[in-house]
Structure 1
């Protein structure tokens, strides 16, 4: 059995930092897309117009019920035949954001549904326009309630981020696989495993603390 070799770790670290940077870009930008687009989906699903609700429901259900890996392959290999063509990293960011937006939309819907009816009635009694009601009354309360749930999806996205390596966006795991395949060593995988824990575990503790604090203030 091979023994642990720190030289292999040292040799891997330059490419590890490259992979970490790709992972963080995919995570942060993908999360922003998921949060913003998820809110759009949630509001569209509450529209009084059937021609808005039905297509949105169909799109979100389709995305939610197909594998992320298939969606990444479609965006990178099939979609360019019809026009849009992006780099592997951009495709990965869009794929992650689009996929998780269908989950965050359900979180937003639950948060909006959890706003007391009295808040809607008070806004109506004050004759607030619909835009003011949503922006000033409903959404601040709804988003405050769902912040911990949204944070959980960020962690889930971190766990799924290695999939973008399939289309050429070499994240931490992608760099580790490339390094290990060329050097026939395994230390790189261990380094990446520790890195994922170092990112995900503190984030989960932060989300739990935030959840407890918000629970006390609601």
Structure 2
């Protein structure tokens, strides 16, 4: 038996294509949640109320300190025992988003705390509202430097999507395994899945670098 057979590569493509669509959709939707929710977490941690900021910090630390797979299992399998029944796709996207939101929030927080304190004083002197100060002054300076860090989490989320197979979401790696079990040929499908992960990661890294460069130029931070 040949170690590599191109005919099996072409046969595996429909499996990989279906799985790739699910993988990309899960990554994009999950990361959109992570970006928005992570910023919310970071802003809450900047609250002048010490109790609110402390509670938010503990929540973030709890999410970061427990495995993603455990969180997926808990919501999907334990939730129904408390009357919380959520479709697998919603659980997968939601848990991915919340898990990575905790990490993104630390990125945001680092960027916010890196903004010079004089910027807040200038906002106060100009009589800007707190909302406008965040939107027009603080965040445009805080976000561009942290784009590479956020990009790393984006790529990390993409590589974590195989965890969704644990709740019967057929992402790309699981589809490759299904093809292997159906045809008793794993090497072609698994290799092509790994190749796709590599290509996506390299393309995503290039996009992140381009966005970072554009933002730095736009806000004159280079």
Shorter-chain TM-score range: over 0.9
Q: 1:55 Cα shift? A: 2.0
Residue of structure 2 in register with 1:66 after alignment? 66
Q: RMSD over aligned Cα, in angstroms?
A: 1.6
The 5 A counterparts of 1:58-137 are 58-137=58-137
Q: 1:88 Cα shift? A: 1.9
Residue of structure 2 in register with 1:12 after alignment? 12
Q: Does the 8 Å CA contact 2:34/2:98 hold for their aligned counterparts?
A: yes
Q: 1:54 Cα shift? A: 2.3
Gaps of 5+ in 2: none
Q: Does the 8 Å CA contact 2:46/2:53 hold for their aligned counterparts?
A: yes
Q: 1:140 Cα shift? A: 1.8
Q: Distance in 2 between matches of 1:138 and 1:184?
A: 57
CA deviation map 1:171-213 (0-9, x unaligned): 1001111221222112110110111111111221332344455
Q: 1:80 Cα shift? A: 2.5
TM-score, normalised via structure 1 length = 0.93
CA deviation map 1:111-147 (0-9, x unaligned): 1111122211110101111111111211122122222
Q: Does the 8 Å CA contact 1:22/1:89 hold for their aligned counterparts?
A: no
Q: 1:47 Cα shift? A: 0.9
Q: 1:12 Cα shift? A: 1.7
The 5 A counterparts of 1:1-218 are 2-186=2-186, 187-212=188-213, 214=215, 217-218=220-221
Q: Distance in 1 between matches of 2:126 and 2:84?
A: 47
Gaps of 5+ in 1: none
Q: 1:68 Cα shift? A: 0.6
SS at match of 1:181: helix
